[in-house]
Chains A and B, each alone.
Chain A
Amino acid sequence: MSTHLSPEQLLHAYEVMRTIRVFEERLHVEFATGEIPGFVHLYAGEEASAAGVMAHLRHSDCIASNHRGHGHCIAKGVDVYGMMAEIYGKKTGVCGGKGGSMHIADLEKGMLGANGIVGAGAPLVAGAALAAKIKGTDDVAIVFFGDGGSNEGAVFEAMNLASVMNLPCIFVAENNGYAEATASNWSVACDHIADRAAGFGMPGVTIDGFDYFAVHEAAGAAIERARSGQGPSLIEVKLSRYYGHFEGDAQTYRAPDEVKNLREQRDCLMQFRNKTTRAGLLSPEQLDAIDARVADLIEDAVVRAKAAPKPQPADLLSDVYVSYP
């Protein structure tokens, strides 16, 4: 699998990661004001995973996300304005303001939804992959779940089904080290989540989730394999979240300098900038221009979301069934 990416592809990858980062860091600030309803679970720190996987997908490929879904949405191409409005619970949101952070979805973009039930995305993508197989397309379906989700029966059942039916399905375990406040090395019985693949007759690999190129390469191999009818695979992406499990989490279970050290030494955006500029493939000015553009985009998205109208009681029954008036 090649990592020979064009300058346009590299710039796009950086823009996706940068958009996720700024989107999440802004939500971290805005949530504290009390204006945002419900819970938010921020993806900052994990950007290379979503961007590296989604770089290989098209709209007809499906993904299912978990409660930490903003990064997956942005990388899959969901409109940032619609997302921000959705998280603010506004009528202009991608789900009319009725889904919020944890149920954000955009079926036209192949984003089957964030999900408040741990591990519940896995059976959904098994279904989407089965549909692709029956239709004879070469589409794939990908589920993102965490180390906590990797312990769920629904994930095992979906992995078994995907293997038995040789489905074009990829299971991406984003192992950020904590299931809420419980350390994965305490709560996951096997030594590496990737090893669980062997029990379902599929290959499993462990990848550095701080490195965009590592994720991009592994995901490319798995997706190519699935598109060509060779069946499912499991990718364990080892990464870390920069914020708590949810906004407001005091994170007393983490070492005091854990996040600070990761930000300084391993941050995916920092690594990407250093590698691509040293290689002479991108210039700092090109990346700075993206930074400025993304900052303006997120600022505008917040302003518009705050000003947008809320859904009305009459909107409650719309979007419940496909053909409901």
Chain B
Amino acid sequence: MPQPAPTVGIIANPASGRDLRRLTASAGLYSSTDKASAIQRLLAAFGATGVERVLMPTDMTGIAAAVLKACAGPNARQQHWPKLQLLDLPLTQTVADTRLATRRMVEAGVALIAVLGGDGTHKAVAAEAAGTPLLTLSTGTNNAFPELREATSAGLAGGLLACGRVPSSLGLRRNKRLLVEVPEQQLSEWALVEVAVSPQRFIGARALSHSDDLVEVFACFAEPHAIGLSALLGLWNPVSRQAQHGAWVRLNPGAEQALLAPVAPGLVQGCGITASGILNPGEPHRLSLACGTLALDGEREIEFAACDTPTITLDTCGPLTVDVEAVLAHAARHHLLAVPRGHRLHPATPC
């Protein structure tokens, strides 16, 4: 029985990819024009796989406007892009916009939300997405949670899954996350990749990219090929996304042995390692530092003082994400993208 044509959401963070690491490292720029182009590539793939409608928030930087314009063009007609519906939400130009857009999409019952941003953007969407899966695309500075992938391929996988042509049990994976609690500040936040503990006293320009600024790193997962703070663990004590545990590492510039790690794009630094270990789900960890800042997924977000007692706890009930490789491998095995003569996208079908 054919599935009803689904709706999917797309959220692109206009602010991602512009932080201090352009000055302190050699990070590149992902402009709004690039993001609008990536969304158009997603729409082409969604259209080809049967997605009927796409929800997108408006923004102040022209991303939605560029996509709306493209939707009226010849490519959209020829490739049967889904119908675009803009969510006209009040804009604050802060992370609150991302969170609100996610809530509206969940309320609208979207099959999944495609996210274009960095680790921070994905974290904000995941906090509101509940059980709605995420199709993750990296447009940030140094991302570990979203994989670097071409939007068209990712869109094909997302479209197949949204249309029910690939079973969720095969195409979705459950991620881990870290719960950061500071009871004295009534703070409870989630991180999707890692939490770094820094002696820097203030949030300041947010990004951390120097080994001197790191005392501890706790990670849900840490891949050897990662870029950013989780690379420290990835090259010392790697943990896969699928493993039930996480890992931590303690740093000190005076340590006997220093690990060379790519802590930011173009910035390979020696990081003195004094101890490391395993994070088990449900076990809260206290910090070795009395006061400083906590960087969640690469950006300082929480300042803590001597009167605070922050804890970090691994949790295995993080967001669902589309396993693009698994979905497309399944599609290949079952020729899911084969279309018969007469299909609107078959080459013999007149335009």
Asked if A and B are interacting partners, one says: yes
Which chain A residues have a beta carbon within 8 Å of chain B's beta carbons?
A: 1-4, 185, 190-192, 194-195, 197-198, 203-207, 211, 213-214, 216-218, 221-222, 225, 233, 275, 278-281
Q: In this assembly, does B348 line the interface, its C-beta being within 8 Å of a C-beta of chain A?
A: no
Residues in B with CB closer than 8 Å to A197 are 22
With known contacts A214-B206, A218-B23, A279-B291, A195–B31 Cβ distance under 8 A: yes
Given A191-B60, A195-B31, 16 more A-B residue pairs with CB atoms under 8 Å apart are: A2-B213, A3-B201, A3-B204, A4-B199, A191-B61, A192-B15, A194-B22, A198-B31, A203-B22, A206-B15, A211-B204, A213-B204, A217-B204, A233-B23, A279-B201, A279-B291
Evaluate contact between A217 and B31: CB separation under 8 angstroms: no
Complex: how many Å from CA A1 to CA B300?
14
With both chains docked as a complex, state the minimum distance between the C-beta of B145 and any C-beta of chain A, in angstroms.
Answer: 22
Which chain B residues have a beta carbon within 8 Å of chain A's beta carbons?
A: 14-15, 18-20, 22-24, 29, 31-32, 60-63, 199-206, 212-213, 291, 303, 305-306
Complex: how many Å from CA A203 to CA B17?
12
Residues in B with CB closer than 8 Å to A280 are 291, 305-306
Residues in A with CB closer than 8 Å to B306 are 280
Complex: how many Å from CA A198 to CA B60?
20
With known contacts A191-B62, A195-B31, A280-B306, A213–B22 Cβ distance under 8 A: no
Evaluate contact between A1 and B24: CB separation under 8 angstroms: yes
Evaluate contact between A4 and B201: CB separation under 8 angstroms: yes
Task: Report, nearest first, the 10 A-B pairs whose CB atoms are least far apart.
Answer: A191-B61, A213-B204, A191-B32, A217-B205, A213-B202, A203-B22, A221-B23, A217-B204, A3-B204, A206-B18
Residues in A with CB closer than 8 Å to B213 are 2
What are 9 pairs between A and B in contact, CB < 8 Å? A185-B61, A190-B32, A191-B62, A192-B15, A194-B22, A203-B22, A213-B205, A221-B24, A278-B305
Evaluate contact between A185 and B60: CB separation under 8 angstroms: yes
Interface of B is mostly: loop
Evaluate contact between B203 and A4: CB separation under 8 angstroms: no
Residues in B with CB closer than 8 Å to A190 are 31-32
With both chains docked as a complex, state the minimum distance between the C-beta of A253 and any C-beta of chain B, in angstroms.
Answer: 16
Residues in A with CB closer than 8 Å to B29 are 195, 198, 204
With known contacts A4-B201, A185-B60, A275–B20 Cβ distance under 8 A: no
With both chains docked as a complex, state the minimum distance between the C-beta of A1 and any C-beta of chain B, in angstroms.
Answer: 7
With both chains docked as a complex, state the minimum distance between the C-beta of A209 and any C-beta of chain B, in angstroms.
Answer: 12
- Closest B residue, CB atoms, query A222: B23
With known contacts A206-B15, A211-B203, A217–B61 Cβ distance under 8 A: no
Complex: how many Å from CA A3 to CA B205?
9
With both chains docked as a complex, state the minimum distance between the C-beta of B121 and any C-beta of chain A, in angstroms.
Answer: 15
Complex: how many Å from CA A28 to CA B199?
41
Residues in A with CB closer than 8 Å to B23 are 203, 205, 218, 221-222, 225, 233
With both chains docked as a complex, state the minimum distance between the C-beta of A265 and any C-beta of chain B, in angstroms.
Answer: 11
Q: Which of B22, B32, B206, B212 contacts A204 (CB 8 A)?
A: B22
Evaluate contact between B200 and A194: CB separation under 8 angstroms: no
Complex: how many Å from CA A2 to CA B212?
9
Residues in B with CB closer than 8 Å to A218 are 20, 23, 205
Complex: how many Å from CA A16 to CA B305?
25
Complex: how many Å from CA A206 to CA B18?
6
Evaluate contact between A214 and B22: CB separation under 8 angstroms: no
Residue of A191, A198, A204, A225 with most partner-chain B CB within 10 A: A191
Complex: how many Å from CA A197 to CA B205?
19
Complex: how many Å from CA A245 to CA B291?
41
Residues in B with CB closer than 8 Å to A192 are 15, 18, 32, 61
Residues in A with CB closer than 8 Å to B199 are 4
Complex: how many Å from CA A205 to CA B141?
12
